[in-house]
Structures are given as C-alpha cells and as structure tokens.
Chain A
Amino acid sequence: MEDDAPVIYGLEFQARALTPQTAETDAIRFLVGTQSLKYDNQIHIIDFDDENNIINKNVLLHQVGEIWHISASPADKGVLATCYNKTSDSKVLTCAAVWRMPKEVEPGSHESPDDASSTAHTLELLCHLDNTAHGSMACVVWEPTGDGKKVISLADNHILLWDLQESSSQAVLASSASLEGKGQLKFTSGRWSPHHNCTQVATANDTAVRGWDTRSMSQIYCIENAHGQLVRDLDFNPNKQYYLASCGDDCKVKFWDTRNVTEPVKTLEEHSHWVWNVRYNHSHDQLVLTGSSDSRVILSNMVSISSEPFGHLVDDDDLSDQEERRPEDKSQEPPQDSVIATYEEHEDSVYAVDWSSADPWLFASLSYDGRLVINRVPRALKYHILL
C-alpha cells in the first residue's frame, strides 16, 4: 500500500519552535514560531486537512522578539506560551510570556481566509513570566493533564513553578529551585512527567538529566553523564511511568529507567549529528521520533521497551473507520527494535519534531530554513500495530 507523500510547508523565516496544539484533539494543528532579528516574528498556525492533504495556515504576529520555544496550553486551545529573545542595549535576554490567540483565528471559528495574506493578527499578551531575577528562559512547559494553570519554566540554573491566575492573566511564582554547582550551570530543556499526578519534572543541563518533585521542588534523581556531550532534549514515555528518553550532541538517543540511572535501558545511534529532539508517540510508545542537525528525521520502533506487549491489541476505537482489517499474522517473529523510516525532506538542521495531538499517526518536523514537513507513520506499520 502506498504511503502518502509528505506535505511540505515553507516559512519565510528561520524557525526553531514547533508544538502541536495540545488541547485540540480533533483537528491536526501545529504552531510554529519564527526566528528573525530584523523583521516582526510570527506564529504560524498550521492546520492540516488530512483527507485532502491540504495545509491551511494562519499567521499571528509576535512582535516582541524571535521565538526560541513555544508550548501550547493543554487545557485552553487559545493559550500558548513562548520564550523569546529581547535585545536591548547590546544585551540579549530570553523572556517568556503567556499569550492568547485572537478569537478570529482560534480553532473553531475557522472562517478566516485561506490565504492569510491580508490579515496578520496580533497575539494578546496574557502575562509575562517575570524572569528579571533569574536569567534567560530556556523553555516553558505546561502541566500535562491539569487545567492549564501550572507551568514550569527553566531560567538559566533556576527551575520556576508558576501559578497562572485569573484566567492566566497573572503569573505568580509558586515555588522555585535552583541548581548549584561550579561553573555556569544552565538548563537546556525540561519535560513534565504525565505520571504520578504530574508531580515530576525532568530537566537537562549539560550532560546530566535530573528529576524534580514539583511539590517540594527537590531533586529526586540525577543521571550524571547521561550523554557524552550536551543533552538537548527529553521526553517521558506516556505509558510507562519510569521510562524516559533523552538525546544529545553525541548523536545518541538513550532510554532510561529512572529507577536505575546507572545504565541506559537502550541506546540508539542512528543520527550522524546532534540529536535536538526526541518524542514518544502519545499513544503507541514504541514509536519514537527524533530530529537531528544532520537534517534527518528518524522514526524508530522500540518494541522491546514499549508498554505494548507484542501482539496486544490496543486502541480499537481508532479502527472503526479504517479500511478492512488484515488477518492477524500470529506466526510472526517478535519484531526487533528497528528504524522504521528516515525522512530526508529537510535541507537544513531539524530543530524540532513533534506528534500531532489529534492524529497519533501523524507528525511534523521543522528545520532551520523554515521548512515544515508533515509526515505519517507508514501504513504497513500502522496496521501492524493496530491489528
């Protein structure tokens, strides 16, 4: 069976920030933030029409600066947070703010013209995450399953927990912790674990990965030298509570059991340059997506450490509208961990990849030259997993 060709969308600016609209579970929608020092930056809202293979976009102006990180609220479709660079008198500071999309482009009110040539709406600022005392913001992460009231932001060596109050218009610093040690410690990225009632956060700084308890804001585990070089990104397995994936400048992707941090459970070494992004599929955690500055996106099948035992049937509700079921092939060998596909549509370094929040078989990747590519999991594999 033929796999659909990838859909490519070009932005006019360099871009690093990509997120699915987390609260949206029906439409396939991604948010992309641009990086331009000279022009007004934008947030592109990319709607993908799965049936017709068409992309619809809306552009929002983000005038405060270039966007380094973007994340969407898990509760409110219209709310998102960005980390942006503010340049003032030969100083660069990365700030973070929470924004609301204007109503016209908000999902649901989808009557805006397809070619958003004329209208360039501006974001409505909800609140700043005040970081004057803490340094540059590396990223903002939302509490995964909450009501969109809690965010964690990482600023230099501080980890800050914010309470968003009064419909997000006010951010109150609830608690914070900081990393002490010699040298300039700086967080590079963090993720909020969806397990344990969302009380755990993992962060990466230099070559170490640390786990934090958000209630006490204390460190619970630390994987020293998780990677040979800088750790670029992390992700939690959405279905197995102690499993964590990390990637970094040593071109490796490692899978950890946080109960035993001395050795990685598994190591992948498929990329030929730094791996910037690693993402578990939200529902089928054997599917792991990685993006690297070797301009490749690799989709791996990590069956051996997945939560789905071989041959187990999951998510039958997804199947109702699928084509005819294929007879189950019981005699198959247990599949090995393998690379499913390497996507080479990008010409420049890929800094962000993510799965759609609406369609578990669809993902987007973004390279520095502003190219957004939407791809699907190969059908053969999809049916193999489903049937």
Chain B
Amino acid sequence: MAAAAAGPGPGSAPGDSPEGPEAEAPERRRKAHGMLKVYYGLSEGEAAGRPAGPDPLDPTDLNGAHFDPEVYLDKLRRECPLAQLMDSETDMVRQIRALDSDMQTLVYENYNKFISATDTIRKMKNDFRKMEDEMDRLATNMAVITDFSARISATLQDRHERITKLAGVHALLRKLQFLFELPSRLTKCVELGAYGQAVRYQGRARAVLQQYQHLPSFRAIQDDCQVITARLAQQLRQRFREGGSGAPEQAECVELLLALGEPAEELCEEFLAHARGRLEEELRSLEAELGPSPPAPDVLEFTDRGGSGFVGGLCQVAAAYQELFAAQGAAGAEKLAAFARELGGRYFALVERRLAQEQGGSDNSLLVRALDRFHRRLRAPGALLAAAGLGEAATEIVERVARERLGHHLQGLRAAFLGCLTDVRQALAAPRLAGKEGPGLAELLANVASSILSHIKASLAAVHLFTAKEVSFSNKPYFRGEFCSQGVREGLIVGFIRSMCQTAQSFCDSPGEKGGATPPALLLLLSRLCLDYETATISYILTLTDEQFLVQDQSPVTPVSTLCAEARETARRLLTHYVKVQGLVISQMLRKSVETRDWLSTLEPRNVRAVMKRVVEDTTAIDVQVGLLYEEGVRKAQSSDSSKRTFSVYSSSRQQGRYAPSYTPSAPMDTNLLSNIQKLFSERIDVFSPVEFNKVSVLTGIIKISLKTLLECVRLRTFGRFGLQQVQVDCHFLQLYLWRFVADEELVHLLLDEVVASAALRCPDPVPMEPSVVEVICERG
C-alpha cells in the first residue's frame, strides 16, 4: 500500500506526500518491506489483493516492477517546472540514502539470526540419533509385558466366572429376603406412619408378587401384603377424611391412595368434598366479617383476606386436583370447573356485598386498590380454570363497580353544584354592608366556577384510577373503550354539564309563578356561568377528559358544539328571565305608584316623585350588578349631549297632529296623518324581546318592560292638570337618567313621549308645564 501511495504520480512529487514528516519513518519501513516482497516474488499476489493503485505496468512508477528510468526522467523533465525538478532530485537523493542505510541494517540483523539457526540445526541432528536407540529398547520391553499379561489372564479366567455367578445368587437372595421381609416392613412402616415408604415398597413388590403368585410361599407373602396394604389404605383414608391437615398433606394422601390403586373417581369426589369444606369455612369467615353488626373491615383488608384465604385455597385445590387427577380427562376437569364456579359465585356474591357497602364512600384509591387486588388474585385461578369463567366474572364485577362509581361521582358533582348554589344563595341573602355588594358577585362567580371545576377534576382524577397502568384490569376492553367514552365522557362529564344546564333552567321555569323565589343575582350569576361554560369551560373540560382518558372507542360522543349550544341556550334563558324578574320589580313599583295615586286632585308638582328616584336608583343598582358579570355591549351612536335634549314631547302642535284630530266624525281618516303614525311606529318595540349577552342589552330590556308598564298604567287613569304635569316631570326625570343605560336612547325617548302623550290624552284639561320649569324641577331634585 505504501508503495502504491508513494508512487510519484504526475504532479505529486515524493516530497509532497500527504503525511507529515513525523509519519516518515513508518513510511520508509513499509517501503523497504515492499521492496523485499518484490524480491521474494510476492508482489504479484500482494498487488492483486490491494484494492486499487497505480497501474503496476506503469513505467513511470518508481516502485513498480516495470520501472523505466529513461521514461521517468523524460516525463519529469517534460512535465515539471524547474523548482519541482530540484525538489524531486533532492528528495530522490534523500530516499536513495535512506534505502541504502535500511538495507545495511537489514543485512546485519538477519546475518546473526542465520548463523544461530545453522547452529541449532546441527545440534538437533545429534540428539535425534540418540533418541532412536532408546525407542528400539522400549519396543522390546513392551512385547515382554504383553506376553506376561496374557498368561495371567488365562490362569484367572476360571475363578472370575465363579465369582460372577455367586454375585448373581447373592442379589437374588437379597430380593427374596426383601420379599419375605416385606409384610413386616410394611407393618413397621404403617406403624411408624411412613406411608410414603410403605407405598413405595408395595409398588416395588407388587409386580413380582403378581408374577410369582403361583408359588405358595409367594402367595402367602402377597396375601399378607394385601392385608397390610388394605390397612394402609384405610389409614390413609382415615387421615384424609379427618381433614385436619392442610391441603398439601391431603394431596399427598390422595397421591398415595392413587398409587395404591384406589378408584380415582371416588377419590376425586372425596377430594373435592373436602376442599369444599375448607373453602366454605373461608367463605363463612368472610361472611362473618360482612355481618351487619360489627363494623365492616377495611375493604382492602377484606379483599386481601378473601384473596389469600379463599382464592389461595381455591388455587391450591385446583392445582393439586389437576396434578392428581390429570388422568381423569375432560370429565374431571368439568367437575373441577363446576366446583370452582359454584364456590366462586358465592365468593363473588360476598365481594359484591362488601363493595356495595363501599359505594357510598369517597375514597376511590382504596376501592381501586381493593378491586385491583381482587382482580389480580383471581387471575391465577382464572388461568388455571379457564372453564370456570372466574376471570370474566371478576372483570364483570369490577366493571359493575366502576359503573356504579361513575354514577356515584355524577351524583356527587350534582350535589356539589347544588351546594355551590346554596352557598351563593346564602352569600346573597346574608346581610351585607353598603357598598360591599360590588365585588361579591364576581367573586362568587369565580368561586362557583372554580369549585365546580375542581370538583370535576377531582372526580376525573378519582375515576382515572380505574384506568391507571398498574391496575390489573385497566387493559380490559371495557376500561380501554366504553368506560372512557361512554362512562366517563358521556355519563359523567356530559351528563353533569347537561344536568347543570337543566338545574339552571329550572330556575326560569317554576319560581316565576311564585314571584321570583330565586334571587335575581343568582339568575345573573348562573347565566354568566353558563355563558362561560359555552365559551371556554366545556371545551376545556372535554379536552381534559379526552386527554386523560385516551378515548379509543369509536362509539359516537356528544360533540362539544351541541353542549355549547345547550349551555348558551340556558344562559340566554336565564338572562331573559333575569330581565323579566327585574323588569317586573320595577314595573310593580311603577304600577303601584300610578294606580294608588289620585291624579285628579294632585297638587302642582314641586318635585320629582320619590318612586322615580327609586326607579333610577334601582336601575343603577342593576346596572352595577350586571356590569360585574357582563361586558358593556354596543350602544347606538348618539349625539353627544343627549341628556340635554329639549323635552319637546308634549308640544301642542304635536298633540294636535297625532292624537286630537278635529272632531269630525264622518271625515275620512287623514291618510297623511296615518302614515305619520305608522312611520313613528315603524320600529315596533318588542317589549319582552330576547336579550343579548351584554349589559346594555339587559338594561335595555329591563327599562323597556318598565316603561311599557308605565305607559299601560297611565292609560288606565284620568289625570288632572297637575297630574299631567307631574307625569311630565317624572318622565323628564326618567329621561335624564335612563338614557345612559340603554342601547338606543331613542327607544327611551319614544316610550316616554308615549307616556306623556297618553297622559295628556287622559287629561280633560291638558295644560302642559313649561319645559324650562320641568327642567328646573328635575335638576333640583
């Protein structure tokens, strides 16, 4: 490789080697090796093995076999500039010198080695000659030994045969002795209780005895043995029946009995009967724990006890049975399965009773752990006895409990929501200091929202335990699919949101009859809550749920939009109801004030009536209240100085034009007049119109209801001159203060104009007050 690399191709002089000077030494050595290889004729093979290199036939290759100095020189001269020529010359001189010294060293080194090798070879020649002699002697000695050995063997042959025969007789005698001693040994074993040993002896002897039973002596032995064996079997059975000993010992008994050839079927019946006795004992103790009077033990403890006691026992029984009665085949397995099914069923019934007691509890983690253990414990017998369906039954129980748990949580959430509402009611009803009302509502809303959210989260976390990785049943299809989607998402979360909306809506439906048993602030708060749910919370909760419970189920779920629409509808209804309730309150005030006053004999107005101030105050309070929870909303752009609008409503010209056509009964209706009226009313005022989610819309609704009431009430009364003037003053006052609350102040003007105009109509002596005087009175008061 070095040879190839160092090949001074055109333009790469030897001195330009890519490696630095420090790499020069190995480079040179390799070069020397290369030359040696060339010398020993290895170059061909080596060259063939090399991946790539300059053409070996290249005459300009300095290290090549076909190097032609003339060609090379020619080439150099032709292609290289002078400086490079000089360089390559010095380089070549340097290389030649180095090669010379290398060669000298090599010759010295190898010379010494060659001399020592020659010496060694000579010494070896001498040594081998000596060894040859000794080998010859060894051959002769070996021949003598073989000869002797053969002679000894021949002499010992006879005796060897006799010894073999004697040994055979001895063994036979030992066997016979064993047989003769067998009865006594068996008896001894039975007495000592070494049943295993006895059965082993019996097994060993049985075939022989069977074979030689035609000989009277053996027959006697066999009879003896049978008697003893029968006794043995009886004792074993006795022990087996006593049942005091544990399952492993019983299994041993059964095993021995089987070895004694007892009928397997009967044994397995008996075995199962015993096992049943034991397991029933366990069940009874479990049931005792359940008992009505003593306080129920911890559910975890209960399942643990059941798991170790009953399930462990069942496992042992099943394992032992399968081992012992494997030969029984399908019928035996079926028997065991039926056995397990029956006892398992009873166990499950107990567990369910216990779990039912736990339903009311709040500690999910304990329950889940208990269920986990319960389920885990049952996996072993489940696997052992697939036919008994214990695993499936256990899973079913767990599922049922999980479902009940979900229902319980839903109830809990509902209760929490109702609790929140009660708190809010109390907070609202609690006497508060003046001015303290303000921050309360927003705070309450935040409290309610956060408390519900935290309850939801807590519930989610609690039910999430059911799907935790480490829980043994979490990978069951139910828990992966239906539990997440139908149970948690639909049943719990969607169900809760729905029920929340329903609860909220129920406030609009029933209590309206009884005159607003629900405090209006609560309506407002609930409305805002629902609206918040619509805008953010629902999607947040659902996203949270979907994230926590990676829903893999494909069953259809309620989309977020549907829920949002429901929440929005609820919020709208609540707000509308709020408007109605508040409107009613103010309406009642106005109605009473108009109905109870004697408008005919009233005095000249000096003041705005107190009730109007009250109306404005209440409206302001409502405005503040709504403002706490709802945004301002859009107002119709108006001329800046609205409050100073001249109170031109009741000008005589207008009255003439609109309401008092000259009395000409037969005159056709003035069409021009009619169209005027129509134009005035072109925008029909929808009094109880649906509200939007903002303050202005709410206030507009309330004011509309109130003013319409005022109008209707005024129309039912008859006014004296001063009565009319009082209405004028009142309306001007209202106009001064109410315009700022509504979206379209024109509406307030329109309605108030209407009120004054109606009052004028209901007045036999309509002399309006001077607008300036009206203004003075209003500003004063």
Contact = CB atoms under 8 A, between A and B. Distances in A.
Interface of A: 10, 12, 14, 37-39, 42, 59, 85, 87, 90-92, 115-118, 120, 225, 228-229, 250-251, 272-274, 293-295, 344, 347-349, 368-369
Interface in B633-666: 659-661, 663-666
A272 B677 CA distance: 22
Contacts of A344: 684
Contacts of B661: 12
B584 interface: yes
B15 interface: no
A87 B600 contact: yes
B512 A250 contact: yes
The 8 closest A-B pairs by CB, nearest first: A117-B666, A90-B601, A272-B688, A90-B600, A37-B764, A273-B687, A10-B669, A347-B681
Nearest to A38: B764
Contacts of B283: none
Given A12-B661, A90-B600, A120-B665, A294 B687 contact: yes
Contacts of B514: 225
Interface string B708-729: 1000100100101000000000
A37 B686 contact: no
Most central of B584, B663, B664, B687 by chain A CB within 10 Å: B687
Most central of B515, B588, B718 by chain A CB within 10 Å: B718
B762 interface: yes
Contact of B712 (A42, A225, A293): A293
A272 B687 contact: yes
A348 to B, nearest CB: 8
Contact of A87 (B588, B684, B718): B718
Nearest to A16: B715
A4 B773 CA distance: 53
Contacts of B543: none
Interface residues of B, number: 36
A294 B685 CA distance: 8
10 contacts: A10-B674, A59-B665, A87-B718, A87-B764, A90-B601, A116-B666, A120-B665, A251-B688, A272-B687, A294-B686
A293 B751 CA distance: 13
B708 A273 contact: yes
A239 B720 CA distance: 46
Contacts of B688: 251, 272-273, 294
B239 to A, nearest CB: 80
B510 to A, nearest CB: 11
B535 interface: no
Given A250-B512, A274-B712, 15 more contacts: A12-B661, A12-B664, A14-B659, A39-B663, A90-B720, A116-B666, A117-B665, A120-B665, A228-B513, A228-B584, A272-B688, A272-B689, A294-B688, A344-B684, A349-B715
Contacts of B601: 90-91
Contact of B715 (A12, A91, A120, A368): A368
B552 interface: no
Contacts of A347: 677-678, 681
Most central of B513, B588, B720 by chain A CB within 10 Å: B513
A116 B764 contact: no
A38 B655 CA distance: 13
Contact of B684 (A42, A115, A295): A295
A344 B678 CA distance: 12
A39 B664 CA distance: 11
A250 B663 CA distance: 37
Contacts of A349: 712, 715
A369 to B, nearest CB: 7
Contacts, number: 73
Interface string B577-603: 000000010001000000000101100
Nearest to B764: A37
Contacts of A250: 512
B629 interface: no
Contacts of B764: 37-38, 87
Contacts of B686: 272, 294
B761 interface: yes
Contacts of B667: 12
B397 interface: no
B464 to A, nearest CB: 45
Contacts of B664: 12
Contacts of A272: 686-689
Interface string B528-561: 0000000000000000000000000000000000
Interface string B494-537: 00000000000000000011110000000000000000000000
A117 B763 CA distance: 27
Contacts of B684: 295, 344
A116 B665 contact: yes
Contacts of B660: 38
Contacts of A14: 659, 761
A347 B684 CA distance: 8
A29 B677 CA distance: 28
A85 B663 contact: no
Contacts of B513: 225, 228
B762 A37 contact: yes
Nearest to B511: A228
Nearest to A269: B688
A38 B661 CA distance: 12
Contact of A293 (B669, B677, B708): B708
Nearest to B598: A90
A92 B669 CA distance: 31
Contact of B584 (A10, A87, A229): A229
Interface in B759-773: 761-764
B404 to A, nearest CB: 36
Interface string B182-224: 0000000000000000000000000000000000000000000
A272 B686 CA distance: 7
A228 B581 CA distance: 11
Nearest to A39: B663
Nearest to A226: B513
A139 to B, nearest CB: 14
Contacts of B584: 228-229
B701 to A, nearest CB: 11
Contacts of B763: 37
A115 B666 contact: yes
Contacts of A116: 665-666
Nearest to B599: A92
Given A228-B515, A274-B712, A12 B663 contact: yes
B709 to A, nearest CB: 8
Contact of B600 (A42, A92, A118, A273): A92
Contacts of A115: 666
A87 B588 CA distance: 27
A67 to B, nearest CB: 13
Contacts of B588: 229
Interface in B592-632: 598, 600-601
A87 B598 CA distance: 13
B668 to A, nearest CB: 9
Nearest to B682: A347
A10 B764 CA distance: 23
Contacts of B512: 228, 250
Contacts of A274: 712
B680 to A, nearest CB: 8
Nearest to A370: B669
A18 to B, nearest CB: 16
Most central of A14, A87, A273, A293 by chain B CB within 10 Å: A273
Nearest to B665: A59
